[in-house]
Structures are given as C-alpha cells and as structure tokens.
A = this chain, B = another copy of it.
Amino acid sequence: MGQGTTRQQIVDAADELFYRQGFEQTSFADIAKVVNISRGNFYHHFKTKDDILDAVIQARLDRTQHMLADWEQEGATPKARIKCYIRILLTNWSMIKDYGCPVGTLCTELAKLNHASRAEANKVFTLFRVWLGNQFKWLGHAQDADRLAMQVLSWSQGVATLGNAFDDYDYVKQEVDEMCDWLDALPVGTA
C-alpha cells in the first residue's frame, strides 16, 4: 500500500485526493485511510494542512517540469511538441471527465478561498505558458508567442470544463482534432 517514505506517501495520497475531492473537502482522516497511518502521526511530518498543500503543489511543479522536458525529447518539431500538450485532454480523459483539469480546478478553488498558496498553484499554469510560448517562438512567432500560448491554454481549459460538465468524450475528441488542425494551418515564420 504505497511506496517511499511516509512523508512521500502522504504527499502522493494528498495529491490525488486534493484533485478528486478538492483541497478543503479532503480531511486528514481521508489521507490517513489511504496511507494507513493514524491522524496524530501527520504532525510529525507536517506542521499544518497548508504545509501538505505546499508540498503537493511542489510535487506537481516538479512533475510538470519533467513532463515538459520529456515532450521536448519526444516531439521532433515545435508543432509536434505542442500536440503533446493538446493530447493530454484525451490521455487524461478518464480523470478529467470526473474531476476536471487538475491545474485549473485547484487554482479556482484556491482563488475562492483566497488561499495564501494561490500564487504558488498558479505557477503550474505559468510552466505550461512559458513552455508553449517557447514552442511558438521556435515556430517563428516571437511577437505573438505568449498570446498564442495563452490561446492554447485557454482553449484546453474551456474544453476540459465543458467536457467535464457534459461528460462528452466525442466533443473533446472533436475539439482536440480542431486544435491540431488549427496548429497545422498556423504559418511557420523564419524567426
């Protein structure tokens, strides 16, 4: 039941539960049940629940950076790499349909709570934004790079939200195809 140090198991369990149930809705009892420790044992590893949240956000930042680095290797061209991002809507569909986008939903929840870690959670968005922007720069869209990055980000956010609400895989598939078509049609400049 779980691997790594107890601390790591707590972070892993919290990571998934915060995604599936939301941060506030996840109690120490919920996490303790997964990790199979007592509630009191938490406080040897973390001072407060907010500290667990910070550790979860850090884990997500690290994981995202590794994923972006992988895509950097995986895709031969900037367009191929951007499609790696677009495709996560399909790759993670089984989770998205029930729990939405893990990045967007946490940012939204922390915004409503006006939580101190809101800015830290937003950094996951920034990682994608900067990475996508770099791809568009390499495509020769130095001027519009950030605008195009935000366009891809918001497109996928909107599709995730509506795909989740209407539980409609066909719609998501269709939008992913349309995003890829839009990307293919995007002119490739010369710096």
Contacts and interface: CB of A to CB of B under 8 A. Distances in A.
A21 B113 contact: yes
A164 B125 CA distance: 12
Contact of A111 (B107, B122, B150, B164): B164
Interface residues of A, number: 36
B162 A112 contact: no
Interface stretch (A6-14, A49-57, A153-161): A153-161
A166 B104 CA distance: 11
Interface of A: 20-22, 24-25, 98-100, 104-105, 107-109, 111-114, 122, 125, 147, 150, 153-159, 161-162, 164-166, 171, 174-175
